[in-house]
Structure 1
């Protein structure tokens, strides 16, 4: 399985082309699940786990991996299904989200598949594990459910959305009142964290749940005669989203003369080193890892300063 992950350099070529690669796996039954390959460091057979006291029910234990100790999450139990039965077919998917490394215990790992984001659709409304899906797709006429890992991690270790007092410039807070920002993210957790910080700063928040809807919102404003780069302080966009990802969204904005000067921040849980390299390729103005309210507030304030100074 590790050999399936050797061609990462080739995968970076997908950026800006509205394409992605999914790692497909099962959680014990026949239903197929998936996560984005960019978040995967390695796939190995499930190693021996050590128990931790007072652990979250979905945390199966910890293991030593590449010289570090990482938590191992039972992905099936964490999305409301039965715990995974540990046997020789169990695997560990080691991932990096928001600069943290963790392992997800799954059943049989199937394969990696290359897809276009317009083949990835928002999940249907419903109860149960539907709340833990960020998207769905079809592979060989079978439904594949793409898990909202950010939601899983937030429930195990809730993110702190509080902005530190020493970060805030009160003079800038006065200037921030009434400014507008568009946040584009398919994750309810990601949207909520951004909104919390922006609401605290008195900024009006517009939202869209994928790149296609975000682009439609921008074009609608432009069609109504709005000067969008002046209307919005910035657009904050996730990278991976159904139908249109953040990289393609940025490219589309830069190609529209009415939108091209919009300030765009890539806000994602994908690897920081990867995204920093891709920001220039697709034309974003800045990059920020998710769930860092102090850094988000600082970035907003720097943008306000630049606008005020320019004016």
Structure 2
């Protein structure tokens, strides 16, 4: 059952739960002129603070259409992204002084961004098992990673990494190694790297980069699918022959990375397989949570070269133990 949150769960280990801050966007149907309202969600662990719509915004030349500009928040320059524009919604024209909009300042891949919303509603404590992957029609847009229900509302979980990767190319997961140097890294391994991420864009980027580095890759869209795959290999006696390492995101529908890691580390058959959490959410608090579920290492997106180096170190360390 989905319940309105009354506690902080950042430090609770392996619960497969998260706190979701819900917000809404209002838009006009260009054909009928009717106003509509959609509810969206963001993991509370990403949110630094909620602020009023800034009075002073500096526009940027040659920026993506949904980027309104930048604003100052305690001497920090924050890019401001209009979510309605991102979703191609038509909104009512209002004077600046009449706006009651709320800006969600969030930490995405270690950098602060402001996201314009038309209001923030409640905070809910939700199990990742209650968040389902979006239908193919919605997933095709690559901006929604999951859907859940609360208080008879349909909450769409926004892929903020996808958004910031579009407006800020420096946030894209990529390797800086040249192709020849990269390809030599994984050639000595016959096993595959199991890569787990609900973002189609990130999963594709990770898969391509690891393959260019010479690794064989098995991609999975969430922790549940990945764990079921591992269990099938274990029952067949193929774990030691098939899986070299696991790279997992944290935020995923059905089963999150922390719960997935805990389940993997509880199974003796997987003790020689290193599991690295690769996420935009490796804060100090979440790093302690990752350590609590037994992660062998934790790397912040988009540091892909560091991820490959640290994965190799974990492989060698466990092989020698």
Calculate the TM-score normalised by the size of structure 1: 0.88
Residue 181 of structure 1 is matched in structure 2 by 193
Q: 2:176 aligns with which of 149, 163, 166?
A: 163
How large is the RMSD of aligned CA atoms in angstroms?
2.6
Which has the larger share of helix? 1
Correspondent of 1:215 among 227, 241, 252: 227
Provide the residue aligned with 2:204 in structure 1.
Answer: 192
User: How big is each residue's C-alpha offset from its partner over 1:24-67, in whole Å with a ceiling of 9 and x where there is no partner?
Assistant: 01111421111100000000111122211222111011100122
Change (3 A) 1:263 1:307: closer
Q: Give, in angstroms, the shift of residue 23 of structure 1.
A: 0.7
Q: Is 1:31 the counterpart of 2:38 in the alignment?
A: yes
Q: What is the total number of aligned residue pairs between the two structures? A: 302
Secondary structure of 1:161 counterpart: coil
Candidates 41, 44, 47, aligned match of 1:40:
47
For residues 47-66 of structure 1, the aligned pairs below 5 Å read 47-48=54-55, 49-66=57-74
Counterpart Cα distance in 2 of 1:251 and 1:85: 49
Deviation of 1:190 (Å)? 1.8
Instruction: State which drifts further: 114-123 or 268-277.
Output: 268-277
The structure-2 alpha-carbon separation of the partners of 1:170 and 1:33, relative to structure 1 and needing over 3 Å to count, comes to closer
Distance change >3 Å, CA 179–CA 111, structure 1 → 2: same
Query: What residue number does 2:142 align with?
Result: 131
How far is the alpha carbon of 1:246 from its aligned partner? 0.6
- Give the CA deviation at 1:140: 1.6
* Aligned ranges 1:83-122 → 2 under 5 Å: 87-122=98-133
Please, which runs of 5 or more residues in structure 1 have no aligned partner? none
Q: 1:128 to 1:201 in 2, by over 3 A?
A: closer
Cα distance in 2 for residues equivalent to 1:294 and 1:83: 42
Change (3 A) 1:138 1:160: closer
How far apart are residue 84 of structure 1 and its match? 7.3
* Aligned equivalents of 1:41, 1:59: Cα separation in 2: 19
| Native 8 Å contact 2:68 2:80 kept in 1 | yes
